[in-house]
Amino acid sequence: MQTGENDQAMRKILDMTRLISIVLLLLHFYVVCYGAFVDWHLVSGISDRLLGNIVKTGLLSSFLQPKLMALAFLVIALTGVRGKKDEKQTVRVALLYLVVGVFFFLASYFLLLVPAKDTVVALLYMGTTGLGFLLILSGGTMLSRIIRDRLQGDIFNRDQETFPQEERLLENEFSVNLPAKYILKRRERPSWINFINLFRALLVLGSPGSGKSYFVIRHVITQHIRKGFAMFVYDFKMPDLAVIAYNTWLTYKHRYKVVPAFFSINFDDLARSNRCNPLDPSGMLDLTDAVESARTILLGLNREWIRRQGDFFVESPINFLTAIIWYLRRYKDGEFCTLPHVIELMQVDYDSLFTVLSTQKEIDVLINPFISAYKRDAVEQLEGQIASAKITMARIASPQLYYVLSGNEFTLDINNPDAPKIVCMGNNPQKIQIYGAVLSLFTNRLLKIINQKNKLKCSLVFDEFPTLTTDIIPTIATGRSNLIATTLGIQDASQLRKDYGREQADVIMNIVGNMAVGQVSGDTAKFVSEKIGRIMQDRESLSINSNDTSVSRSKQLEAAVPASRISALSSGEFVGMVADNPDCKIELKAFHCEIVNDHAALKKEIDGYVPLPEVRKISPAIVERNYLQIRQDIRDMIELEMERLLSDPALVHLVIKKS
């Protein structure tokens, strides 16, 4: 502990050391310039005898020895100097003083060789040496007054916001491993992002251009196919990810125990699209399946209904569509249970429609309110209940959609061990609302079918997930035990809240175990920063007043990656967290690094990709014929049912005719 007595004693010691240095220099001047002192009459017998005794000690035995000793004592004196701190002082100026001072102090020897009077040479020598001594003294004092703030050159605090990250490659049969590099204490170090447990879901966040697909999602696809996963890929910009999945499947399909089949759904290119019925009767086991399907398709076509669930004019169309779907599921064991047939059946006149629906007792509770309103001539109420469903469903009544949705070339049980599949479904940014609703129906049916025990490990990849209205929460929460790995690509949490509502969006954001975040801003950046946590950082504070300047240092817990840093990430730079396993603990879960892609190798690989194959030759006539056939199927079904009811006295009472 420092006290006033200690400081005073230290100052006395430093003053004495400085005085010894000056005395040694004066003795050196007296010996070297003795002739000049004689001319100036500054010598005496006493001084000569004292000088003789000093010479006998060997202190003045050589020319340089006393000068160097004087310089050494001066350096010792300067070492303990504590000058008043000055933020204007710089190292460059102090070093300039020191270098020039040492030069004058040592080079003054050559002035003794000047052919001139002894007094002139002595004055030049002593003046130059003294000037050098004073410059050294001033330079050393300046050094002690410099404020050594090591953070002055790091105005963005980048050095303090670095932390150790996982540098081991931790790989297992389910993992996705991304090579990366990060900065630790101004040094670049290699690292690995080890997603060893993607069954706890992976959330990939980032604004457009941040590198979600190129740096993360494409590697999830390629590495999981390489490790034998069944896969579903939702490709927002078809066929970007589908081509990657297809070519990876071509390369590694021999590694599967049972070679998976590859299927794709593309509403814009029917020649390269397979046909699939999302309302496949084999997957519609009870009425709740019809309810979920109806809710999914209507909420997908009317996004604002998501936040109004429970309202009368939202639930009524859902019940009406449910009744239509379940009736077709029960009619001839689902012969016409397809979405196109559902749409066409909804357009039938009320007399025939309600008559046909009333023959199915399981949906009585659903259709009775509509039939009652119809019989009471409550036309406005009935139209309010039904018209919104009919108008909404009419948006997807196109021959192209009818063609894809009315076939049944594959089922959605992609993780069936006996018949695994890799399925890619594509959207179109120009037709998001229409295609998104249909694809939401596909994904909801798929999620329910695959989330079962004793199935093959499978990977679900959703690019631009908010463009779907899929209830992914049960799959994330319960699919882990069924080996379902889920990857969600999202631009921003606000996008998710806009389409799903705040509560559901918050649940999705909080239950995922793995997170990789590119450039995001606002509340999303704050959320990610808080999730990554805090680290201990050094802090310096300066206090400058008229008497003294003090520098205090401390350690504080601060955000490892502040929100401002996340909002300024470059493309390919990601922050986030990984989840571990009980048998493979990861202490360093957080990361802030740049993912390393071999761009040349990837470009070569992409250039070698083959396009998706043509499934069939297709013509507009075939598509139109299918469209007309579906409409004819419904007309025939209505005619047959009405004829059956009218010809049977026991059933004729079911025929509804508005009085």
* pLDDT tens profile 263-322: 999 998 999 999 999 998 988 888 988 998 998 888 888 877 777 777 777 888 889 999
67 and 161 assigned to the same domain = no
Query: Phi, psi at residue 375, to the nearest 5°?
Result: -70, -30
492 domain-assigned? yes
CA pair distance 217, 488, nearest whole angstrom: 9
Summarize pLDDT for 583-598 with one digit per residue, the tens.
889 999 999 999 999 9
Decide: 255 and 226 in contact? Cβ < 8 Å.
yes
* Range of the structural domain that residue 573 is part of: 150-264+414-611
CA pair distance 126, 133, nearest whole angstrom: 10
Decide which of 145, 163, 182 is a domain's last residue: 145
Q: What Å distances lie between residue 627 and 218, 280, 400, 402, 493, CA to CA?
A: 37, 18, 8, 6, 40
169 and 187 assigned to the same domain = yes
402 and 432 assigned to the same domain = no
User: What contacts 64, CB < 8 A, 6 or more positions away?
Assistant: none
CA pair distance 107, 125, nearest whole angstrom: 10
Decide: 612 and 243 in contact? Cβ < 8 Å.
yes
Decide: 436 and 467 in contact? Cβ < 8 Å.
yes
Per-residue confidence (pLDDT) for residue 659, from 0 to 100? 53
502 and 601 assigned to the same domain = yes
11 and 103 assigned to the same domain = yes
428 and 303 assigned to the same domain = no
271 domain-assigned? no
- Asked whether the predicted pLDDT for residue 521 surpasses 50, the reply is yes
430 domain-assigned? yes
Per-residue confidence (pLDDT) for residue 217, from 0 to 100? 95
CA pair distance 511, 251, nearest whole angstrom: 34
At 149, the pLDDT band (50, 70, 90 cuts) reads low
Summarize pLDDT for 616-629 with one digit per residue, the tens.
999 999 999 999 99
Give one DSSP letter per residue of 213-233, joined into a string: IIIIIHHHHHHHHHTT-EEEE
> Do you find a cis peptide bond into 649, omega within 30 degrees of 0?
no
332 domain-assigned? yes
List helix spans (H) across 80-201: 91-107, 118-145
Q: Which of 144-148, 149-153, 366-370, 653-657 bottoms out in mean pLDDT, i.e. has the lowest?
A: 149-153
- Asked whether the predicted pLDDT for residue 386 surpasses 90, the reply is no
477 and 506 assigned to the same domain = yes
Decide: 227 and 173 in contact? Cβ < 8 Å.
yes
* 198-213 average pLDDT score: 94
The pTM is what?
0.79
Q: Which two tokens stand for residue 30?
A: 């007296």
270 domain-assigned? no
At 509, the pLDDT band (50, 70, 90 cuts) reads very high
CA pair distance 446, 460, nearest whole angstrom: 10
Q: Which two tokens stand for residue 7?
A: 């400081």
520 and 542 assigned to the same domain = yes
Decide which of 92, 118, 145 is a domain's last residue: 145
At 630, the pLDDT band (50, 70, 90 cuts) reads very high
Per-residue confidence (pLDDT) for residue 148, from 0 to 100? 57
Q: Which two tokens stand for residue 253?
A: 């399909």
Decide which of 145, 165, 196 is a domain's last residue: 145
CATH of residue 582: 3.40.50.300
CA pair distance 181, 604, nearest whole angstrom: 23
- Asked whether the predicted pLDDT for residue 435 surpasses 90, the reply is no
Summarize pLDDT for 631-648 with one digit per residue, the tens.
999 999 999 988 888 888
CA neighbours within 13 Å on the CB side: how many for 68? 7
Three-state DSSP class for 374?
helix
CA pair distance 586, 577, nearest whole angstrom: 11
* 96-106 average pLDDT score: 86
28 domain-assigned? yes
Per-residue confidence (pLDDT) for residue 443, from 0 to 100? 92
The single-letter DSSP state of residue 613 is: P
- Asked whether the predicted pLDDT for residue 502 surpasses 60, the reply is yes
The single-letter DSSP state of residue 215 is: I
CA pair distance 324, 362, nearest whole angstrom: 12
- Stated as kind and residue range, the H or E segment containing 53 is helix 45-56
209 and 111 assigned to the same domain = no
CA pair distance 215, 489, nearest whole angstrom: 12
At 1, the pLDDT band (50, 70, 90 cuts) reads very low
76 domain-assigned? yes
89 and 157 assigned to the same domain = no
Q: What percent of the chain has pLDDT over 90?
A: 43
- Asked whether the predicted pLDDT for residue 152 surpasses 60, the reply is no
390 and 425 assigned to the same domain = no
Residue keyed to tokens 């020319």: 63
- Stated as kind and residue range, the H or E segment containing 176 is strand 176-184
At 151, the pLDDT band (50, 70, 90 cuts) reads very low
396 and 418 assigned to the same domain = no
Residue keyed to tokens 């759904």: 265
Other Cβ atoms closer than 10 A to 251: 13
Say how many domains are in the chain: 3
